[in-house]
Structure 1
Amino acid sequence: MTEKSQLDGLSVLVVEDAFLVALDLCDYLESAGCTVIGPAATVNQAFQEMTDVSLDGAVLDVNLAGEQSFPIAEQLAARGVPFLFLTGYDSVTAFPSAFQSVLRLSKPVELETLAKAVSEFRKS
């Protein structure tokens, strides 16, 4: 199965505060067939982007200019939307216990690794 067919049609929220990283993530996911919602650079912006849309999954940067994305993760979990964290944090203790088992991809992320992880949203 090609990367394009694995991701084709998935609606994915991207939450990332670093403009160039967000642009790269969105461009890559769109070229692989995703409908990208965002990017959102803050928790409030993410909540606005999530309003009245159906999501297949989300890619969340943990640190959004000093603000953590865990409230977004809580709302996604409550809606039954799968998500992953994209982060520079390497310690599981930086995550609330409810999210310690959520997939974490380290920055800088290899795009093929991201594609494989996002394709798992379809199976959730």
Structure 2
Amino acid sequence: MGAMEQCRAGAPAGRRVLVVEDEPLIALALEETLAEHGFLVVASAQTVAIALRHVAVAQFDVALLDLAIGAESVEPVADRLAALGIPFVFATGYGRFALPAAHAARPIVEKPFRTEALIAALVAAARRAAQEA
């Protein structure tokens, strides 16, 4: 069994992540950083349409959503995740004021990422969701 298969089989609860990020190099760096901290990126999307498909079929515990996916807003993905009760964290370089009004209280991590803040936000979001379930 390769490392990826072992990681998939052994991903602890609360550690499976959907990453929605339109910049391939940032997505790759996120995957590596998350893996180093015990997370598994089970799916990655560079468009809203692909992200919505992953939301429908992928098994993940928490999502990291870049606020702007190219010219698109990630709001439809956030709306769907909220409706399903799946926790998520916004990633943005624009600050909290740029969040969609319906999700203004959601957690954010500022770009450029500080690894500690990113990991803490994902852990806290997954933990809150588990406590509310």
TM-score (norm 2): 0.80
- How far off is 1:106 after superposition? 1.0
- Whole-Å separation in 2 of the counterparts to 1:91 and 1:31: 27
Structure 1 residue identity aligned to 2:57 = D
Q: Confirm or deny: 8 A CA contact 1:37 1:49 kept in the other structure.
A: no
Match of 1:122 among 105, 127, 131: 127
User: Which has the larger share of helix?
Assistant: 2
Match of 1:106 among 106, 110, 127: 110
Q: Deviations over 1:40-77 (max 9, x none)?
A: 11001111222223321100001111111010000000
Q: Let me know the Cα RMSD of the aligned residues.
A: 1.4
- How far off is 1:123 after superposition? 3.4
1:24 and 2:29 are equivalent in the alignment? yes
Size of the alignment, in residue pairs? 116
Q: How does 1:1-124 map to 2 (within 5 A)?
A: 9=12, 10-90=15-95, 92=97, 94-120=98-124, 121-124=126-129
Secondary structure, in 3 states, of the residue corresponding to 1:59? Answer: strand
- Whole-Å separation in 2 of the counterparts to 1:96 and 1:113: 21
Secondary structure, in 3 states, of the residue corresponding to 1:60? Answer: strand
- How far off is 1:91 after superposition? 5.0
5+ long unaligned stretches in structure 1: 1-7
- Whole-Å separation in 2 of the counterparts to 1:34 and 1:118: 10
Q: Confirm or deny: 8 A CA contact 2:43 2:58 kept in the other structure.
A: no
Q: Confirm or deny: 8 A CA contact 1:61 1:69 kept in the other structure.
A: yes
- How far off is 1:108 after superposition? 0.3
Secondary structure, in 3 states, of the residue corresponding to 1:51? Answer: helix
From the CA coordinates, give the structure whose radius of gyration is larger: 2
